[in-house]
Structure 1
Amino acid sequence: MTTARLPDGFRVTLGDDVRRRAGTAGGESLLGTVPPRLLHLTAAEAALVHRDGTVVVDGPATRRLARALLDAGLAHPTGPQPGAPTPDRVAVVVPVRDRPLERLLAALAAGPRLGGLVVVDDGSADPAPLARAVAEAGGALVRHPEPRGPAAARNTGLAAVRRGGPSGTPFVAFLDSDVVPAPDWLTPLLEHLADPAVALVAPRVTALHPEAGGLVGAYEALRSSLDLGTAPAPVGPHGAVSYVPGAAMLLRVAAVDGPAFDEDLHVAEDVDLLRRLDSGGWVARYEPAAQVAHDHRVAPTTWLRRKLFYGTGDARLARRHPGSAPLLTMTPAAAAVCAALIAPRRATAAVAAVAAAASTVRLARRLPRLRSPYRAAALLTAFEVVGGLWQAATALGRTGWPIAAVAALASRRARRLVAVVTVAEGLADWWQHRDRAPDARLPLPGYLLLHRVDDVAYGTGVWVGMVGERTLAPLRLRLRR
């Protein structure tokens, strides 16, 4: 459990996916569904949770309970929070190369007064227009004579802040040059930093022009890898939100010693930072109440190249952070059900049924404080199985697509299975994302086609990265109890 002390008055609220179950002796159990997790509360602890699901820190007992809920991912901070930093303690760092900045600078000027602005010109061919724009905005400009990449540019900006350019700025917001923050984007992020355990918090990244860009533009408005949805969450390799993009994030400067980003990485440097923070005991959070719009790349060839490029980062991350992001992570029961669907025989179906039943019984024996332990255990097992099936279906059409293609060529049964799984996964994915951008207009067939192209491009990048790194680590499977 995280040991950093939450301040008095700090407020957390149970997540929308959390179900409350009555326990024995007046206690209560909290069941989260995405991902599945369970936390027991004594009668005294349950009494500290208000009827609306909030817990307000006002002493040792509520402080311990709020921290336990946060660590379990069952509750999220809900502001306003006491002691939250103000915007004037934040310096904004913008890496840029051969791009206009006027749109971003105008958006920053329309928002709260910041503690400083540092723009890092990463080797632009014509630096004069950029210098004029930054001077007019009252910011500081640092220039790389030659391009060194976004990681190096962000580190240069962070170093400028540390040298005392903008004074009194213990927090740095990294914003890419192609984003436009909403006027109130910063306040919801700063509320999280009232928790001294939080090192990094990121906003939701939406489409700047959801109605433009044709089919690709509409698809990106609904399904961009930068947009992580509408639910707040802790960020971790095995959670509902496993990463946040470097396009927009707010960092506690004291959480990193030296450079924040690995300059040897030209892709996935943001995920690498998150993994290092996690291993150092820090917390990262995702806050969709804060929004930043992004000018998505919607030209088809540029879009495809970008997806492939993103995929190449998996192998390097797998080498640097072994075991942090396997292709599949599931319980034996979920694995057995997947095997039964892949090889539908009486024997595999029987094994799957026995594995699911054994998992339910074993879990129920660990839940003596619930009034209906077997019901809760069956529910948790079902969530695990469904989650495992979703992982397997996603992996089949994404990283595993070359394997699926070879199997489909060799077997009629495999062709039917691949066809059914990819269509079903595509429909489920469309249902999950269909309302993210009301202004986007994309027919279902177009969504299914572009989703499959998206997955194949990313998966191809993963295989390219594995060849370059000479590793199969991104294909690793992990069974957990």
Structure 2
Amino acid sequence: MNYPLPEGFSVAIDPSTRRVNARTLVGGSPPRILRLTDVGQQAWSELARGPAHSHNARVLGRLLTDVSAAHPRPNATCEPPKVTVVIPVRDRPQSLKRCLASLRYGHPIVIVDDASVDPTAVAELAESFGARLIRRSTCGGPAAARNTGLKAVETAVVAFLDSDCVCVDDWIGRLIEHFADPLVAAVAPRIAALPSSTAAGRFATSSGALDLGARECRVMPGAAVPYVPTAALLVRREAIDDIGAFDERLRFGEDVDLVWRLHRAGKLIRYQPDVRVLHAEPADWASLWTRRFQYGTSAAPLACRHPEAIAPLVLHPWPSAVLVCLLARRPLIAALIVAVTAVPATRGWRRSGVPTRVAAKIALQGVFQTYCAVGRYCTQFGGPLLLLALAWRGGTKTFQRRRRTAAAALLFAAPLRAAFSGEMQPDPFRFLVGHLADNMMYGAGVWFGCLRHRTLIPVRPKVVGPRRLPAVGIPRRFNKRQQRS
């Protein structure tokens, strides 16, 4: 985007962004090379010192934040817009009471009762907390309830909040500053699981379905955070009016659809994980896996609406070939592939100013990320076949050993990566088994949705060209003409 950051914004460089020399940066999501002109280096120096005031620094700040090589830090002196909280609910009065009690900052609240069996309990809570109550006569699901609440919102920003959430931070006050940027349409906190005493609940605290991790990011398909849920989400009301409200035909995935439509319209969505909202996860394994199955069923209708955004597996030629050879226990062939394909690629990166050690590290990360992605994909959509490959005794002993090694490597790729990146709860064994079952139940839901909607887009891998870092340069027009402005 050519629209510069608002004056007074600062940026925080992402921890994964490397400045390999005076003119070259490597970073972003997906990763890329950024080359700075002379004026770009001056703009970088201004950004490093503090708030951006010059036009050049603001343009560079926009470029860096748009690719997630850096993250915007708004000017806190700006007057924040007014916010109305919309809470859809159907029964669960105890959860609603806990949610309302955690909202302590005086924002107007609209509660939408989606045809509760016991509407009196919800009405009493709305009255006791000074919230406006809107009751629907028929249950239409979360999308319909949120749309009903939207019609009653008169403020510039709406905060969607699920009734089973607990606000531990002033998440609205901390995220609302981002709307000083007119291009920002939505901002999301990190959705962490509420502490639980059950084994399934403790597993959810370490591997919650709504927890999108600790990496701050611009939200868009293909990025580290491709979507955000509306369990807790700030959205500019005008942006929703431009693209249309929630699709009420979707019982699951209506929040992903809204976020992707915002992105398609050229809006910015930010994810700020240092701000948290807690969410109640199922307390038993059956409910936990049922929810994962239901989430999986949303992939097919989303694919029908956003086929370009659905990619369960992205394969790059040479990392995939290396992985196949390693799984087949052919390390020499894998080394040959690296020599033939990866070495020329790293030479191209070196010509762009990327040192050999950095290029080699990126290449190895590509193989590892491909391994984890293929393992997760195979577990989700072919988990029973991998388990069968482990148990089947057919073939020679050498073939059995290789088959079982490959199957085990694929099955435990995603669980082991999750284990090394966080705490294993409730214990290592149940964490690994729970992770496998979680992936398989999600994949079963995806297959169910594919059969129902007669599409294979949600399970179809995407093969792209040779893996390389896309180069993003500061345009030549960023030089003298803009330097004078």
TM-score, L = length of structure 1: 0.88
Query: Where do 1:263-412 residues align within 5 Å?
Result: 263-345=248-330, 350-365=336-351, 367=352, 370=353, 372-405=354-387, 409=392, 412=400
| Percent pairwise identity | 38
Q: 1:445 is matched with which residue?
A: 429
Distance in 2 separating the partners of 1:5 and 1:94: 35
Shift of 1:273: 0.9
Shift of 1:130: 1.1
Distance in 1 separating the partners of 2:334 and 2:363: 18
Q: 1:456 is matched with which residue?
A: 440
Distance in 1 separating the partners of 2:15 and 2:283: 33
Cα deviation digits, residues 300-319 of structure 1 (max 9, x gap): 21111111111111122122
Distance verdict in 2 for CA 1:423–1:227, change over 3 Å: same
Pairing 1:97–2:90 present: yes
Which consecutive unaligned segments of at least 5 residues does structure 2 have?
467-485
Q: 1:32 is matched with which residue?
A: 27
Please say if residues 89 and 111 of structure 2, whose CA atoms lie closer than 8 Å, have aligned partners that are also in contact. yes
Distance verdict in 2 for CA 1:107–1:296, change over 3 Å: same
Distance in 2 separating the partners of 1:21 and 1:392: 30
Distance in 1 separating the partners of 2:445 and 2:97: 34
Q: 1:125 is matched with which residue?
A: 117
Shift of 1:231: 2.4
Shift of 1:186: 1.3
Please say if residues 169 and 277 of structure 2, whose CA atoms lie closer than 8 Å, have aligned partners that are also in contact. no
Pairing 1:192–2:178 present: yes
Please say if residues 28 and 70 of structure 2, whose CA atoms lie closer than 8 Å, have aligned partners that are also in contact. no
Shift of 1:145: 0.4
- Which letter maps to 1:468? R
Shift of 1:349: 5.3
Distance in 2 separating the partners of 1:54 and 1:185: 28
Distance in 2 separating the partners of 1:125 and 1:255: 34
Q: 2:19 is matched with which residue?
A: 20
Pairing 1:7–2:13 present: no
Distance in 2 separating the partners of 1:30 and 1:55: 19
Please say if residues 11 and 81 of structure 1, whose CA atoms lie closer than 8 Å, have aligned partners that are also in contact. no
Tell me the C-alpha RMSD between the 2 structures: 2.3
Please say if residues 466 and 474 of structure 1, whose CA atoms lie closer than 8 Å, have aligned partners that are also in contact. yes
Distance verdict in 2 for CA 1:317–1:480, change over 3 Å: farther
Q: 2:230 is matched with which residue?
A: 246
- Which letter maps to 1:295? A
Distance verdict in 2 for CA 1:448–1:423, change over 3 Å: same
Please say if residues 55 and 62 of structure 1, whose CA atoms lie closer than 8 Å, have aligned partners that are also in contact. no
Cα deviation digits, residues 185-213 of structure 1 (max 9, x gap): 112211221211111111111222x2x23
Distance in 1 separating the partners of 2:150 and 2:38: 47
Distance in 2 separating the partners of 1:476 and 1:62: 42
Distance in 2 separating the partners of 1:49 and 1:199: 26
Partner-residue secondary structure (3-state), 1:113: coil
Distance verdict in 2 for CA 1:325–1:364, change over 3 Å: farther
Partner-residue secondary structure (3-state), 1:131: helix
- Which letter maps to 1:61? N
After TM superposition, what 4+ stretches of structure 1 lie above 6 angstroms from structure 2?
Answer: none
- Relative contact order (alpha carbons < 8 A, sep ≥ 6): 1 or 2 greater? 2
Which consecutive unaligned segments of at least 5 residues does structure 1 have?
436-440
Cα deviation digits, residues 391-437 of structure 1 (max 9, x gap): 112212223424535655577333321112323432221111228xx
Partner-residue secondary structure (3-state), 1:95: strand
